[in-house]
Structure 1
């Protein structure tokens, strides 16, 4: 991927497990044999854990002290011991590679978490063997302050050489480092932090790149956002602290900086909700396309209310013949009557469909194939969520949220993924045959930003959550990620045809999908609605755009009528996607 994007063939892949000293030494020997010069060493790799586990424990993750085969605690071994050994073994080669005109550099990717470390110089318990209760967060912070101590130690050692040592804090970066955090911890702490202060991976890499290319004197410095960081543990920087690790009380100046920092945080917390609302309003995608759809057949699932109703209305007003499919016959008939009255289009039909039932899906598909000779657009809009806080604050009115359909499938997965996949496969050839050059037919999948938080184990597929503790949010996220996998799978299949597959995130739309949430869950969602929420009409704009646009949308994932930029990093991995989709089709008995 890097080679294709940069056209640089001088990129090499090497295996290295930083948690194992034996592997670090093997890697160092290979580097010294292969490269006569090493100009930059970036100690970037690291592991963290559930930073919120004391407040919001995750029952699916065991928070125990993990030891490597060599007897070192995993986080300290990976974040500090491994990089230190590697640096020492390569140090002379790196020093030889620097020159007065162009210094070589050793770069340590640390973290602002170093501020919260607690290392007793009189009892150097780096392996956390004597902690009364192992603290993942504390061990991570300790490993990060050790990186800064080592940076200062190296800087003094390199003072009169052509090599520099520099450390940095990349920022709160949206990566999978928080994958072990509980759903409640993510919802109440991690997600708000990342939305308020977070960076994407490219933004987070900027200070590391700056450390490589800068002509400034950086030896011994600790940077953040390409400039000196001011929020650092008080023991960093004085030689006797690096050698003896003696903790000091925070100085008066440090206290003043802390107070100023807290003041800025409070100001941000007051201003950022309004800034987020303004950003949402200014960047909201609105479909201004006036393309007519006379003679086109559109099928939309879940079109009786919310996004689906507004999408059906927008397409009906442009002349399309629309089939509205939903499981409640009475609601569907009422919605169709409203659509006909508002749009003035009599070619709108109500059909019964329960996506959670494979029997209903197959019956519906047969009816549609018998009734319509062409299907120009299939919109897989219907879906259900679940109470994100059900594990902590269950809603007694709705019983156990881990429910199964008559087919034996978990309800959220059956409705959001299994049903749409079966329907799409049964209608696939008809949709494909309905497209023309310059006027392709389309299959549209309504996914969600929640796909980013999905965790699907390729080697232990448990899509119905029978073997693992049920988590409504995780299940919902997984179903939305699988929609994106299926979108990519179809896009490759449709590459040379007159049919396209496209997925989209409609935004946080004010609909009734929170009806099964607990009171607290509803209030949290309501606050989100106030800040970044959309009306159903606004939420339908990207769906309408996907149906009307003349652009090549095959395989794309949209948000606000343009390409979405927050997506699960596993999307696009063909082998992974193909394996999961084929296994799902086999499970459902779909050819």
Structure 2
């Protein structure tokens, strides 16, 4: 295919409607962004305009409503030059919005004098690229839950003049506003390609676009060029067409990772096709925005590990870390191959892991199954109902699993409750101790916390008990070929905080996890690492944090305490005569 030619022809833009879909547009208060918002609002979408100035945002919302005839337009304030502002805004969006279907990274600065962002990055690189990189990744898990979600990164034809200098990303050695702008737009296309590659198998599509220079306020940071742009550029409405096309067109939805110009897929410059540079930029960007790169480290250790024929059971696999673990493990297997046998093409499909999630709510289980199947491209996902607060429910679920499943290869005990008020299970045990199993200390005279109760200590004790259980179980299983691990996923943004009774504690923990915590996807990586990594397949009984073996607290490696807890636990669950490991 020749550079500049299209993969397919399509109307520009499509006439498709987007009723029920939520669209987020950065820089949607002016120029191209506002025209995109007007168009998509008129198509029935719920439009969210994100920009730095709250007053301008409200004014833009009013104008978009008037011109589109839609009242379904809203705004959030966010400064793309501040990583903290991006994190705070993303957290608000994730809390308030039930879905995100389309994200259009449109905002930017253009050809200004040398300046740095709040976090010390050259302004073009920091605002146009790095801010959108962080914003996209923070919203990505929510977008995965929407069928046919789309991400559009607005680049520029000027990317052809860009070159990523990994030794001088901030252009401190030699600065040109034109090159800085071009580099930031090249970075957006490389980001598009790498993100698309990493999202293969999911329902999320990613595109980059190069609109012609419009008549808008975008070049306000370089006023000398303002008249040139006004005279030579296309209107903002025309320049918005490619972004609208990528957001709504049915044919575009069949592809991902493509670059669009004038509503047509087009081959960008050679340097924008460099996959090695795209991967390197991704890794560097993760460090720059201080997103934990646990996912990448886990992939490096276990990228090619398949789970064909394996059965995986995950408790609490309906949400958060458990669901993300299920998606990854379900994805490790299913693929199709075609063979030509005696002039006939025969299609074979290899089914990978069979993933079983256990949770107590059937409606949530069914919703989770739908999300897991859609994002893993695997139909081999099932659920069992089980309430960990009821021994009877656990025995019933275990009996059904043993009856139905031919083999069980990986068991991930993930479900938990967190810092809830004092409550006893159906069987009379303190809820967190019974449900979860490091400041904790096992008080055998007060396991139920009835003498003195603190939700924080109860949670810590239950997690300490989990490590002691893993230590003792691994000792008893030596020589059997079954490996046992315990792990800490880190501070993760999950739904566990909902069970915290104190409003103050809930607010503080929510604030900390939103600003500094991992996403559920990142939190799941140590689970995945322990489940599939070949290097630790000969080890057992160890404790892992961030995909690395670490030493837990002293009380967690007390063998006498572990043995005593084992015996006491057998008596509690009524398995003294049944279980002799």
Pairwise TM-score range, normalised by the shorter structure: 0.3 to 0.5
TM-score by length of 2: 0.44
> Quick check: which has more Rg, 1 or 2?
1
> Which TM-score applies when normalising by structure 1?
0.43
